[in-house]
Amino acid sequence: MDLAIQEAQSEAAFESRKPSLAELASKRLPITVPWSSDHLLFPGQTFHSSLYKTADPWSKASPFEDWTATELTNDSDVGQMMYLCADGGTTGTFKSAKTQSTVLKEDHESFGFTATVDLGFCTASGSLQYDRNISTNDDNIKTSVRASYRCGSIILRRPPELSQESSLALKYGEGLTEFEAKYGDYFIYGYNLGADNAMLVSTNASSLSTQERKTLTVKAECFLFDVEFTEHFDSASYSASAALNITGYDTLSGSMLDEHTKWQASTSVEFDAVQRRSRTLRLLGDQLPSRVEDACEELGLRLGQGKANRAESARTGLMQDFAPVAGLEKPVDRATCRRLMESNVIVEVVLMPVKSLRSVQEWMYSDDII
């Protein structure tokens, strides 16, 4: 079996074994979900896991003191969030797989009949032979490319304090059940920074060739002479078609590619345009690490050499020394988070169960809290 097919099957089997969001939520385990630019989501925002299939599963009420889903007008949230790049490192993955199949079929049909008339002094006969050859060819090629880059996280250094209303609901109401029904059972603990780029290209080329021959033979046998006449009637037809389907995305640029093109010849203008767009998306994936680093550098989170050092390396042909700070930490505020959202550097949202908060545990179980 082709190695690419084995890898694709192994990856598909792994994906099928991954627990769903509902399964993780039922066990109150941390959840990581893809980032969506449809909402402004800051750390501390609460989430209803039971509504994850709806358009807006985010809670409109907050259990935290002085917390709002919009940017604060003061600096009370400064220091609550920090940028963390563990060991000063980044992680990147690249996967490419290709599968190809070819199906060739040959069919032959043949039949005939003969009629004979005996007139005594002369015998006449006629025959018709029909032959048809059908040849079909079907080629399919699928290529998938995926690049992923992670460069750190924005996390809550300290979760906001519970409001008096939510605290009393925990202590004297129906406990955690009432609390989660009103505020949600998860909260945003932070973001994972980076980007994803993926593309699936599938091509299909098929052809149909048909050849037909009809042979008519007339023969007459008399006492004095024999006559035979044969005529061939040939015909042929050929048709071919091809299709190109491309689906891809790039989270950093916010671009999507969904092209479905059919053409009758390889010199199609539309086909060439689709090829150019697919090459552009592939190039974005090849440059994913440097693009993410440049975007973070513009926001004050330097991860790599930066544009200036890379330009100098390209000019001199020498690599510029760069050593990221181990365990880099940098305080951030909501304004920085907003810029991260606008630049599409946020790629995943990390959700933690509210039950894991120490303040929730204290209000639920401690007898010392009034």
| Digit-coded pLDDT (tens) for 33-78 | 888 777 788 888 899 999 988 888 988 888 887 665 544 434 444 4
Q: Convert the pLDDT of each residue in 182-191 to its tens digit.
A: 899 999 999 9
Checking if the pLDDT of 224 tops 50, the result is: yes
pLDDT 10s digits, 135-179: 999 999 998 999 999 888 888 887 778 888 888 888 887 788 888
Widest CA span of the chain, in angstroms?
131
Asked if residue 144 lies in contact with residue 198, where contact means CB atoms within 8 angstroms, the answer is yes
- Mean per-residue pLDDT over the chain, rounded: 79
Three-class secondary structure of residue 146 per DSSP:
strand
Question: Which CA distances in Å does 228 have to 118, 126, 127, 216?
Answer: 16, 10, 11, 11
| Contact assessment for residue 311 and residue 258, using Cβ atoms and an 8 Å cutoff | no
Quote the pLDDT of residue 32: 92
pLDDT-based confidence at residue 123 (cuts at 50, 70, 90)? confident
Strands (DSSP E) found in the chain: 31-34, 46-47, 81-85, 91-118, 122-156, 186-222, 226-250, 255-263, 328-332, 346-353
Question: Which amino acid, 278?
Answer: S
pLDDT, tens digit, 9 for 90 and up, residues 270-306: 777 777 888 888 899 999 988 988 888 888 776 655 5
Which H or E element spans position 91?
strand 91-118
Q: pLDDT over 90 for what percent of the chain?
A: 16
Q: What is the pLDDT of residue 318?
A: 56
Mean pLDDT of 181-202: 91
Query: What is the spatial distance between Cα 59 and Cα 51, in angstroms, rounded to a whole number?
Result: 10
Q: What is the pTM of this model?
A: 0.70
Q: Give how far Cα 20 sits from Cα of 46, 132, 349, Å.
A: 19, 55, 16
**Residue written as tokens 């949600």?**
184
Nearest by Cα to 351 from 46, 53, 18, 23: 46
